[in-house]
């Protein structure tokens, strides 16, 4: 094993699964913050692949400041209309000139954004319901040549920053993450009335799990209030079924709790996202790199989406710490809960963190000393292979939100 600064120690709390109160949130792919994350990451991937195709290496870029300004809509049973379009601004830096070549970075960005919206928010008509703009400043010259297709040395960290990961997921975390994924997957395939803006909040008190779902309904597929009520109940039953696949605890599911049927106030939308009506969005304001918002856990406030995947610690270490945590709990017996914190120091190789700190809650009868060597060996191996994170991100194999 290498001389990397790896620490394995006991954590200073109960396992989250054993705590009395747990809170977990996920903002679905149609939430305004997630739209920004998705577009920022889609643009980042498109730029990285285009740079490799054109010059053989990833050049400097970042698109992690993308912003969304909500529009205005007039939903109605059977189909309403967008009155003022959503405005989305892709903001960041990109290399546009390199060794005599001009690279159309902004055109690439606009194309990637359009393709992402068409695939994930299909009720939005780009150019009508949403206006996409792009402002990419020129990339920094000293960071442009950073990663190529051929064998490369390990890049230097671009910042002094940290990433955090944890495993295993609790029952509540599994329910929240899978319920949104399946609502926006198999369920939406059969129920076009459900828009992609699905936000789920899980609360566990002792052995009672309460799941609150905000589900945007698409007016074109809802004829009247009775159909809306049926759609809400259908979502509730589906989420309840998902939850019971993951727990034997008591589960209570609520959907669109702000609705007031007597007043006619319901979560009906034209496009399937609250971005059409007053809900703005920003990169990094929603889900962390593992797809969840988990106040019972340590979290990095770095935005993962849109950052350069080569040497930007805000992306690499959040993804890598999550991968390490999952690998450790999958391979090492006797671990009840685990947290991984990776700290970089600007200018150091990214495979040599300033510290790699792994904190564990072990099962009864198991000590930290019993698992320390196995845990450290996995951390060391994952750090040695850190550039694989970069390749996986460029290939689109890792989710950042």
The CATH number of whichever domain residue 96 belongs to comes to 3.30.300.10
CATH number at residue 212: 3.30.300.340
Is 289 found in the same domain as 164?
Answer: yes
Give the pTM: 0.94
pLDDT over 70 for what percent of the chain? 96
Rounded to an integer, what distance in angstroms lies between the CA atom of residue 142 and that of residue 314?
19
- Show which of 282, 316, 350 is a domain's final residue: 282
In a domain, 400, yes or no: no
pLDDT score for 139: 64
Rounded to an integer, the average pLDDT of 293-315 is 94
pLDDT band at 278 (very low <50, low <70, confident <90, very high): confident
Let me know: does 213 contact 239? Beta carbons within 8 Å.
yes
Is 184 found in the same domain as 119?
Answer: no
Rounded to an integer, the average pLDDT of 8-28 is 96
What is the secondary structure of 239-279 as a DSSP string? HHHHHHTT-SSEEEEEE-TT-BTTTTB--EESSSSGGGTT-
CA 263 to chain centre: 36
pLDDT score for 12: 85
Picking from 186, 26, 39, the residue whose alpha carbon sits closest to that of residue 121 is 39
Is 361 found in the same domain as 336?
Answer: yes
Question: What is the chain's mean pLDDT, rounded?
Answer: 94
Is 312 found in the same domain as 234?
Answer: no
DSSP H or E run through 118:
helix 105-120
Is 297 found in the same domain as 163?
Answer: yes
In a domain, 134, yes or no: yes
Is 295 found in the same domain as 386?
Answer: yes
Rounded to an integer, what distance in angstroms lies between the CA atom of residue 287 and that of residue 285?
7
In a domain, 27, yes or no: no
pLDDT score for 1: 57
Q: CB neighbours (10 Å) of residue 3?
A: 7
Range of the domain at 56: 32-145
Is 312 found in the same domain as 268?
Answer: no
pLDDT over 90 for what percent of the chain? 93
In a domain, 21, yes or no: no
In a domain, 44, yes or no: yes
In a domain, 99, yes or no: yes
Residue 169 clears pLDDT 70, i.e. is over it:
yes
Is 165 found in the same domain as 304?
Answer: yes
- What are 345-379's pLDDT values in tens digits? 999 999 999 999 999 999 999 999 999 999 999 99
Q: Total structural domains in the chain? A: 3
Is 308 found in the same domain as 364?
Answer: yes
Torsion from C-alpha of 384, 387, 393, 396, nearest 10 degrees: -90
Is 162 found in the same domain as 308?
Answer: yes
List residues bridging with 133 in a β-sheet.
89
Rounded to an integer, the average pLDDT of 160-168 is 96
In a domain, 151, yes or no: no
Q: Which two tokens stand for residue 205?
A: 């008190």
Exposed / middle / buried, residue 375 (Cβ in 10 Å: 0-12, 13-18, 19+): buried
pLDDT band at 138 (very low <50, low <70, confident <90, very high): confident
């Amino acid at each position: 094993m290498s001389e990397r600064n790896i620490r394995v120690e006991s954590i200073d709390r109960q396992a989250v699964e054993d705590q009395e109160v747990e809170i977990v949130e996920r903002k679905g792919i149609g939430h305004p913050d997630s739209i920004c994350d998705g577009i920022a990451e889609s643009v980042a991937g498109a730029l990285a692949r285009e740079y490799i195709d054109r010059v053989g290496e990833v050049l400097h870029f970042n698109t992690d400041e993308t912003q969304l300004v909500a529009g205005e809509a007039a939903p109605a049973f059977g189909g309403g209309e967008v009155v003022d379009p959503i405005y989305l601004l892709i903001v960041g830096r990109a290399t546009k000139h390199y060794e005599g070549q001009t690279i159309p970075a902004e055109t690439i960005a606009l194309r990637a954004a359009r393709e992402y919206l068409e695939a994930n928010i299909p009720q939005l008509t780009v150019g009508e319901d949403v206006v996409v703009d792009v402002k990419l400043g020129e990339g920094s010259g000293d960071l442009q040549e950073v990663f190529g297709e051929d064998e490369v040395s390990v890049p230097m960290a671009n910042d002094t920053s940290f990433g955090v990961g944890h495993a295993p997921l609790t029952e509540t975390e599994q329910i929240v993450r899978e319920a949104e994924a399946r609502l926006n997957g198999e369920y939406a395939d059969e129920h076009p009335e459900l828009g992609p803006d699905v936000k789920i909040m899980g609360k566990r008190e002792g052995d009672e799990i309460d799941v609150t779902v905000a589900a945007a309904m698409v007016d074109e597929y809802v004829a009247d209030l009775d159909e809306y009520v049926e759609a809400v109940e259908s979502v509730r039953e589906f989420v309840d079924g998902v939850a019971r696949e993951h727990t034997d605890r008591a589960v209570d599911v609520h959907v669109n709790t702000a609705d007031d049927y007597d007043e006619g106030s319901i979560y009906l939308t034209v496009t399937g996202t609250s971005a059409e009506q007053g809900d703005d969005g920003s990169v990094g304001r929603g889900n962390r790199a593992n797809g969840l918002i988990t106040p019972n856990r340590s979290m990095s406030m770095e935005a993962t989406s849109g950052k350069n995947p080569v040497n930007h610690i805000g992306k690499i270490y959040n993804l890598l710490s999550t991968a390490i945590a999952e690998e450790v709990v999958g391979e090492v017996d006797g671990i009840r809960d685990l947290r991984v914190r990776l700290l970089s120091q600007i200018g150091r190789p990214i495979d040599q963190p300033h510290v790699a700190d792994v904190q564990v809650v072990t099962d009864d009868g198991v000590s930290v000393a019993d698992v320390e060597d196995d845990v450290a060996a996995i951390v060391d191996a994952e750090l040695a292979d850190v550039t694989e994170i970069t390749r996986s991100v460029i290939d689109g194999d890792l989710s950042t939100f």
